[in-house]
Structure 1
Amino acid sequence: MSEVVLTEDRGPTRIITLNRPERRNAIDIPLRIALAERLETAMADPDVRVIVLTGAGKGFCAGGDISTMERMPESVSRPRAQAAQRVIRAIWSGPKPVLAAVEGAAFGAGVALAIACDRLITAENAIFSTAFTGVGLAGDMGIFASLPARVGPARARQLMLLPQRLNGREAFDLGLADVVVPPGTTLDSALDDADRIATGAPLALRELKASLARWPSDPMTMLDHEVDAQVRLFDTEDFAEGVAAFHERRTPKFHGR
């Protein structure tokens, strides 16, 4: 049986691919467990600077695999839901940026997974839809945090109450996606972006992600957090290298120390 999640390294970038193309990469239990494990492994690998998440075949992710769903008691549904949230926790709490390259369909949990990433590159003809209420669910995988953060709470409310299909261009116009590119080019575009991000200081990127993960929070508390992060970074080799490279008018070489 083929692996449900594939990984490939391109220099400092790790590509993680949902690999159930026959099911449009719908998320069943084995896939959500494998995806969380691959993300956690990549986050812990010192040779990986950036992660790109994509889907095999013609689509990104059709959402939860409805063929595996039925009415179930809490003793069964809670571990299932927690396994899905483990994926998002890995993306949000991990120190490395995660980019989503979306071709084809991103429905339900597929939308939630894509917008949970730090950058979302979409094909013009991709299709996005929240599509949770159609099967009697409200939504998960962080969508009630990530969707309002991207499009605003009022627009998020309407997208959840009245699910509609948005193409890549419409998703970009709403702020759901960060970049829109021609069909078939999302992975190449994401890899180009990853190469640019990978030149940044890893420790600074880690602190950047940790700080943004605190939004929205009390602004005064955020000021204290920013001071703590800056203090940690001032006492790193990467900071010294960045200053030296600036004075020497050369490109810095960061090593995450």
Structure 2
Amino acid sequence: MGDIRIEIADRVMTIILDRAAKKNAITDAMYGDIAAALTGAADDPAIGAILIRGEGADFCAGNDISMFAASASGESDIAKSNVGPFLRALSTCPKPIVAAVTGRAIGIGVTMLLHCDLVYVAADAQLSTPFIDLGLVPEAASALLIPARIGHVRSFALFALGEKLSGVEAATLGIANKALPAEEVAAAASAAARALAAKPLSAVIATKELMRDAGAIEAALTADRDAFIRQLATPEAAAAFAAFAARKGQPA
């Protein structure tokens, strides 16, 4: 699977973002592999829970910026990418999903957590959603789900001002269950996933379904996608990608 590793033990499927040199920024191929893994786990009676973590120091530095730049320049169509299948698989997965977050979580590295059922985060982690700085809008139904968790004003600061949350703040605000020393996060998340996988699966699935407004999330995902695609075509987005590429010494 390239930059995604899958491990299965004790009825838990672990999805590992394995692109540490790029801080686990997600490529189109990775989106496709994660979507396939989630879909397969949903249909596999031998899997009782799913754990997502990153390899190395960082959980996920967000979407690989080259995908946005290519779409903005007309070289590719993000509407035909694996992002949509990934978001559908993540948001509709009937089985419990646990996340282990260390280091940096940026963009989709934060918004995917809203679709996880348990989140364990390093106290010194940094969570940020700099969509507006790229001329874009929040995705993954986060404009619906984050305000529901932490309120409008704090959410707007997170989105519009680009304010960062520490792991401690994320736990205090309800985005994560616990903030722990970084070296304890993986073990805590793994233990929680194993505990979930040992419980009566039908009851866990039924409870998760009752707790989530599937219709509202689906509608928000559609609205996000449409707004995101519109923003990719704006001069502001093109300028932001060019500036980002210049800072990284890459072609825009």
So what's the TM-score if we normalise by structure 1? 0.77
Deviation at residue 73 of structure 1 after TM alignment: 4.4
CA contact (8 A) 2:105 2:127 kept: yes
Cα distance change on mapping 1:13 and 1:29 into 2, 3 Å: same
Distance across 2 between alignment mates of 1:20 and 1:29: 13
Paired letter, 2:56: G
Aligned length: 214
Which of the two has greater helix per residue?
2
Find the residue that maps to 1:26 and give its secondary structure: coil
TM alignment of 1:1-257, pairs within 5 A: 3-70=2-69, 71-73=72-74, 76-80=77-81, 83-214=82-213
Q: Identity across aligned pairs (percent)?
A: 31
Q: Which runs of 5+ in 1 are unaligned?
A: 218-257
List per-residue Cα deviations over 1:210-253 (Å, max 9, x = no partner).
22222797xxxxxxxxxxxxxxxxxxxxxxxxxxxxxxxxxxxx
Moved more, 32-41 or 158-167: 158-167
Residue of structure 2 in register with 1:241 after alignment: none
Find the residue that maps to 2:182 and give its secondary structure: coil
Distance across 1 between alignment mates of 2:208 and 2:97: 10
Cα distance change on mapping 1:183 and 1:213 into 2, 3 Å: same
CA contact (8 A) 1:93 1:210 kept: no
Paired letter, 1:146: L
Find the residue that maps to 1:96 and give its secondary structure: coil
| CA RMSD of superposed structures (Å) | 2.0
Following TM superposition, where does structure 1 have runs of at least 4 consecutive aligned residues deviating by more than 6 angstroms? none
Deviation at residue 101 of structure 1 after TM alignment: 0.3
Cα distance change on mapping 1:152 and 1:215 into 2, 3 Å: farther
Greater RCO (Cα-Cα under 8 Å, separation 6 or more) = 2
Q: Which runs of 5+ in 2 are unaligned?
A: 217-252
List per-residue Cα deviations over 1:98-135 (Å, max 9, x = no partner).
01100111001111112321111101111100111121
The structure with the larger Rg is 1
